[in-house]
């Protein structure tokens, strides 16, 4: 998806990725879920729990993606694209799929895709739920670092500035980017994901930290679309120290 590509390129910029590899990463991000065209919509968008058979079917999509892309005559710079796109569900400890690759066997670009794919899955709207609470998303991802997610790349992910994070999050089924307020984005540019997580854990130490939390919640929970909740502090547990 476009969001996956944009998150990936943010990480690429942070780690000073070479331009050629950056383009390879972008195309792999855009095509990584192409294999889902072979999975029934009733399974992909099922609201209840998946059966073992259905879950196994969904797990086939990276291999299908790789197979489809291997039949395309890519230029030399993009020869690795099928392997990268097909490896975004691999885990560092070898328990991922479809090939059970371990850390050194997983392409760097695929390790980036793995991080942003997990984040996007939890922060995207689904037929059966809205995006998950941000604190839960970050805690969940932190718990898999080392076993599933690359520690260094996850640290790079947490350096993404909040203005870019919000701009990418706004690009859902209906692009709401035009509703973002420029002044708010400028203020959020001074903070990254790691700084926000730190503030959330210890509480706001000053007026600016309270403001960044209020602004983030306003956009993350789409209050800029649905109207601002006057009781935002109570609703999202904004605390000071």
Residue 223: predicted pLDDT: 87
Q: Lowest mean pLDDT of 6-20, 49-63, 122-136, 204-218, name the range.
A: 122-136
Q: What value, to the nearest 5°, has the Cα angle with vertex 19 and ends 16 and 20?
A: 130
Q: Which two tokens stand for residue 85?
A: 């796109």
Q: Does residue 34 sit in the same domain as residue 149? A: yes
- Asked if 184 and 151 sit in the same domain, the reply is no
User: 20-27: long-range contacts (C-beta < 8 A, 24 or more apart)?
Assistant: 20/77, 21/108, 21/109, 23/77, 23/78, 24/77, 24/78, 24/80, 24/81, 24/84, 24/109, 25/84, 25/109, 25/112, 25/113, 27/78, 27/81
Which 8-state DSSP code applies to residue 143?
T
Question: What is d(CA 75, CA 106) in angstroms, rounded to the nearest whole number?
Answer: 21
23 and 77 in a single domain? The answer is yes
To which residue do tokens 């980036």 refer? 112
What is the pLDDT confidence band of residue 152, given thresholds at 50, 70 and 90? very high
Average pLDDT, the chain: 92
The verdict on whether 36 is a catalytic residue reads: yes
Asked if residues 109 and 25 have their Cβ atoms less than 8 Å apart, the reply is: yes
238 in the same domain as 143: no
Among 160, 189, 206, identify where a domain stops.
160
The closest of 149, 154, 123 to 136, measured between CA atoms, is 123
**What global pTM score does this model have?**
0.91
The reported pLDDT for the residue numbered 16 is: 97
Nearest to 154 by CA among 65, 105, 92: 92
Residues 116-123: what's their mean pLDDT? 97
- pLDDT surpasses 60 at 229: no
Question: Is residue 15 located within the same domain as residue 130?
Answer: yes
The per-residue DSSP string of 188-236 comes to: HTT-BHHHHHHHHHH-B-SHHHHHHHHHHHHHHTTHHHH---TTHHHHT
> pLDDT tier at 230 (50, 70, 90 boundaries)?
very low
Q: Which domain holds residue 121?
A: 1-160
Smallest CA-to-CA distance from 23 within 75, 73, 77 is with: 77
- Of the candidates 2, 36, 171, 201, the residue annotated as catalytic is 36
CATH number of the domain encompassing residue 123: 1.10.3210.10
Contact 117, 28 (CB under 8 A): no
Supply 133's token pair.
């609470």
- Whether 168 and 80 map to the same domain: the answer is no
36-51 residue pLDDT tens: 999 998 898 888 888 9
Report which of 29, 40, 28 is spatially closest to residue 5, judged by C-alpha positions: 29
Residue 159, pLDDT above cutoff 60: yes
* More confident site: 179 or 7: 7
Q: CA angle at residue 97 from 91 to 39, to 5 degrees?
A: 135
Query: Residue 12's pLDDT band (boundaries 50, 70, 90)?
Result: very high
SS3 25: helix
pLDDT band at 233 (very low <50, low <70, confident <90, very high): low
- Nearest to 237, CA basis, from 207, 205, 204: 204
- pLDDT per position as a tens digit, 51-88: 999 999 999 999 999 999 999 999 999 999 999 999 99
Last residue in a domain, options 129, 160, 191: 160
Kindly state whether residues 22 and 123 are assigned to the same domain: yes
Separation of alpha carbons 115 and 98, rounded Å = 17
Residue 228, pLDDT > 60, answer no
């Amino acid at each position: 998806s476009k969001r996956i590509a944009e998150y990936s390129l943010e990480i690429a910029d942070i780690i000073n990725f070479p331009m050629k590899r950056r383009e390879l990463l972008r195309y792999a991000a855009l095509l990584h879920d192409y294999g889902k065209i072979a999975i029934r919509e009733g399974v992909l968008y099922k609201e209840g729990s998946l059966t073992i058979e259905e879950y196994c079917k969904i797990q086939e999509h990276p291999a299908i993606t790789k197979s489809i892309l291997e039949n395309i005559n890519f230029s030399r710079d993009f020869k690795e694209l099928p392997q990268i796109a097909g490896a975004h569900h691999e885990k560092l400890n070898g328990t991922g799929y479809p090939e059970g690759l371990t850390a050194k066997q997983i392409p760097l670009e695929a390790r980036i895709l793995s991080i942003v794919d997990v984040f996007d899955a939890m922060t995207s709207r689904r037929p059966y739920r809205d995006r998950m609470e941000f604190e839960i998303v970050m805690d969940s991802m932190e718990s898999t670092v080392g076993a599933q997610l690359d520690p260094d790349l996850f640290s790079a992910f947490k350096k993404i500035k909040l203005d870019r994070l919000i701009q990418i999050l706004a690009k859902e089924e209906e692009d709401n980017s035009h509703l973002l307020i420029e002044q708010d984005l400028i203020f959020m540019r001074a903070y990254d994901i790691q700084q926000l997580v730190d503030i959330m854990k210890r509480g706001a130490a000053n007026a600016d930290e309270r403001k960044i939390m209020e602004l983030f919640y306003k956009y993350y929970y789409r209050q800029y679309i649905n109207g601002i909740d006057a009781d935002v502090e109570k609703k999202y547990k904004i605390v000071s120290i």
